[in-house]
């Protein structure tokens, strides 16, 4: 637990005090966010606000992971720690960094061209596809000494669903889909000051709790404390490196809290696609690593709702020529309906919190049912 707290504290402090540096650097580089003229007119006043702020909380999370991992060598948890980063950490942080790199390329092109056209949609999807495939293979084909892999060959809800065995190739395909869906979901949620940041904090916080709970009830490599014949030992969690999962999720959540200090309305800096794609990639990776792939639809419910608003809008317009919403994604519909930006953000945070709480409730209730 102390290692998780160390990682979270370091991430928060680096992000809180490092983001102003990012603001000065990107402002000096004239990396201002281009604003689409077809969007809500209230956004025109945000033109020139520095973007690519996701770099700040990505770096904060990486340094925090190193600090937390170092702390494991002197804390009681050391018996389940490795001296080098685990494959779980490499997959999760790799998704975080490389999905962020795709977003950075998009942001860079927008700034360079001085318009909202960055990477093409195909270019972004191709980048996500390649990244998802590479790390999906790493998650499935590189087991630990006890045979445990980061991802499973079965589709999971709260645990692996035994009859949903899709094999390694199928599992890599599911992995890619989850990463692409979640990264684009967070990206679509971005657009209002602090909206995606606050929602991500709630989801990452939920995954930190899930990871730590799984660590406390972990089957592990014959390290589980308790009577091997007890119901507790029989129903422990078959995941790889749960403490690493909790530490990374907590660090990312805390880094986002520090970033939110500067990103809340009126935002001094935007996370950009750099931050949105990175957060989505990490959240998707956490869902797979914790064996909660289908549960992530509930935990990240706000991202799902906003993504579906775009899908519904496109389908409706292409089939009937009519729009269901005044504008999509959904947050812009409410802007055009007269809601203030702060009201939309806070109310959407409430929805995100409710979704995360329901997801955690289902996760914990399943454990109680199994133990009962």
Q: Is the separation of the CB atoms in 203 and 360 below 8 Å?
A: no
| Structural domain for 13, as ranges | 1-297
Distant-in-sequence, close-in-space partners of 139: CB < 8 Å, separation ≥ 6: 87, 91, 149, 150, 151, 175, 288, 289
pLDDT in tens, 283-329: 999 999 999 999 999 999 999 999 999 999 999 999 998 999 999 89
Does residue 193 have a known ligand-binding role? Answer: no
3 in any annotated domain: yes
124 lies in a domain? yes
Residue 54 lies in a domain: yes
- φ, ψ at 155 (rounded to 5°): -75, 140
Instruction: Give one DSSP letter per residue of 173-222, joined into a string.
Output: HHHHHHHHHHHHHHHHH-SSTTHHHHHHHHHHHHHHHHHHHHHHTB-TTT
Strands 160-165 and 154-156: antiparallel
Give a yes or no: residue 325 inside a domain: no
Which of these, 206, 255, 237, lies nearest to 361 by C-alpha position? 206
Any binding-site annotation on 117?
A: no
Phi-psi label, residue 119: left if phi above 0, alpha if psi -120 to 50, beta otherwise: beta
Runs of H (alpha helix) within the chain = 2-28, 54-71, 87-113, 121-141, 167-189, 195-216, 231-234, 242-263, 272-289, 296-299, 301-320, 330-336, 341-371
Asked whether residue 101 is domain-assigned, the answer is yes
Residue 364 within any structural domain of the chain: no
Residue 316 lies in a domain: no
Please indicate, yes or no, if residue 331 is contained in any of the structural domains.
no
Kindly give the confidence (pLDDT) of every residue in the chain, 372 residues in length, as a single tens digit, with 9 standing for 90 and above.
788 999 999 999 999 999 999 999 988 887 766 666 556 656 666 777 888 999 999 999 999 999 987 776 665 544 445 557 889 999 999 999 999 999 999 998 888 877 667 788 899 999 999 999 999 999 999 987 677 899 999 999 999 998 889 999 999 999 999 999 999 999 999 989 999 999 999 999 999 999 999 998 888 644 444 444 444 555 788 899 999 999 999 999 999 999 999 999 999 999 999 999 999 999 999 999 999 999 999 999 999 999 999 999 999 999 998 999 999 899 999 999 999 999 999 999 999 999 999 999 999 988 777 665
Q: Are 111 and 272 in contact (CB under 8 A)?
A: no
Number of domains in the chain: 1
């Amino acid at each position: 637990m102390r290692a998780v707290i160390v990682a979270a504290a370091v991430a928060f402090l680096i992000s809180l005090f490092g983001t102003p540096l990012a603001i000065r650097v990107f402002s000096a580089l004239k990396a201002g966010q281009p604003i689409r003229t077809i969007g809500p007119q209230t956004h025109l006043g945000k033109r020139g606000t520095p973007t690519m702020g996701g770099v700040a909380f990505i770096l904060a999370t990486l340094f925090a992971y190193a600090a937390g991992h170092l702390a494991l060598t002197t804390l009681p948890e050391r018996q389940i720690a490795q001296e080098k980063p685990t494959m779980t950490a490499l997959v999760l942080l790799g998704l975080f960094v490389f999905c962020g790199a795709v977003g950075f390329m998009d942001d860079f092109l927008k700034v360079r061209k001085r318009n909202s056209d960055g990477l093409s949609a195909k270019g972004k999807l191709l980048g996500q596809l390649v990244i998802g495939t590479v790390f999906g293979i790493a998650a499935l084909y590189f087991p630990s000494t006890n045979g445990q892999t980061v991802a499973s060959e079965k589709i999971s809800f709260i645990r692996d669903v035994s009859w949903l065995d899709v094999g390694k190739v199928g599992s890599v395909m599911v992995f890619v889909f989850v990463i692409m869906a979640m990264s684009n979901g967070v990206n679509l949620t971005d657009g209002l000051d602090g909206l995606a940041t606050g929602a991500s904090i709630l989801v990452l916080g939920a995954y930190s709790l899930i990871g730590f709970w799984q660590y406390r009830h972990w089957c592990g490599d014959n390290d589980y404390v308790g009577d091997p014949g007890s119901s507790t030992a029989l129903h422990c969690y078959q995941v790889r490196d749960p403490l690493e999962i909790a530490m990374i999720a907590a660090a990312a959540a805390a880094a986002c809290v520090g970033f939110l200090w500067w990103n809340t309305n009126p935002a001094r800096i935007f996370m950009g696609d750099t931050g949105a794609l990175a957060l989505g990639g990490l959240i998707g990776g956490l869902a797979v690593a914790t064996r909660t792939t289908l549960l992530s639809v509930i935990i990240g419910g706000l991202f799902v709702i906003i993504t579906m608003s775009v899908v519904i809008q496109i389908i409706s317009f292409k089939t009937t020529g009519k729009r269901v919403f005044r504008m999509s994604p959904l947050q812009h519909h409410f802007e055009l309906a007269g809601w203030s930006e702060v009201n939309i953000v806070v109310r959407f945070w409430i929805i995100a919190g409710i979704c995360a709480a329901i997801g955690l409730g289902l996760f914990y209730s399943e454990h109680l049912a199994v133990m009962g």
